Amino acid sequence: MNMMEMGEVVAYLLRYRTAERVPSGGRKRRAAREGQLSERDVCALIDDAQENEREALRDFLAGQGLRLKAFESGDYPGIAPGSRFFALLPDPELEQPPLYTREPVFEALKLRQESRTELALWYLQLWLLLHTLIYTRLNRALSDVSRYQEATFTPRELVELVRDQLETLRGLGDRAPENSRVLLDERGEDIPRRVKAFIDLLARAGHLDMVREAGDEDVWQQTLLGALEAEQIGVHHLTHLIELTSAQEDAASMPRVDLDDEAPDGTEVDGEAPGTVSPAGNEAHSEADLFETDRADTDADESAGESTSDATSQFMDEPGENRR
Q: Would you place residue 270 in the very low, low, confident or very high pLDDT band (cuts 50, 70, 90)?
A: very low
Give the residue-averaged pLDDT of 24-35. 84
Taking the whole predicted model, whether its pTM rises above 0.85 is answered as: no
Question: Tell me: the pLDDT tens digits for 94-119?
Answer: 765 554 567 788 888 888 888 888 88
**How much is the pLDDT for 69?**
92
Q: Is the pLDDT of residue 290 over 50?
A: no
Q: Is the pLDDT of residue 268 over 70?
A: no
**How much is the pLDDT for 303?**
38
Q: Would you place residue 135 in the very low, low, confident or very high pLDDT band (cuts 50, 70, 90)?
A: very high
Higher pLDDT, 148 or 214: 148
Give the angle 133-139-143 at the CA atoms, nearest 5°. 95
Q: Is the pLDDT of residue 164 over 80?
A: yes
Measured CA distances, 313 to 9, 77, 106, 157, 322 (Å): 19, 20, 42, 43, 21
Asked whether the beta carbons of 42 and 89 are under 8 A apart, the reply is no
Q: Would you place residue 269 in the very low, low, confident or very high pLDDT band (cuts 50, 70, 90)?
A: very low
Q: Would you place residue 231 in the very low, low, confident or very high pLDDT band (cuts 50, 70, 90)?
A: confident
Q: Would you place residue 237 in the very low, low, confident or very high pLDDT band (cuts 50, 70, 90)?
A: low
Higher pLDDT, 113 or 227: 227
Higher pLDDT, 147 or 35: 147
Q: Is the pLDDT of residue 17 over 70?
A: yes
Q: Is the pLDDT of residue 234 over 70?
A: no
Q: Is the pLDDT of residue 158 over 90?
A: yes
What's the mean per-residue pLDDT of the chain?
A: 74
**How much is the pLDDT for 244?**
55
Max mean pLDDT among 72-76, 212-216, 274-278, 280-284 falls in 72-76
Q: Is the pLDDT of residue 263 over 50?
A: no
**Residue 219's beta-bridge partner residues?**
212
Q: Is the pLDDT of residue 321 over 80?
A: no
Give the residue-averaged pLDDT of 33-37. 84
Give the residue-averaged pLDDT of 23-29. 84
Give the residue-averaged pLDDT of 189-214. 89
Q: Would you place residue 171 in the very low, low, confident or very high pLDDT band (cuts 50, 70, 90)?
A: confident
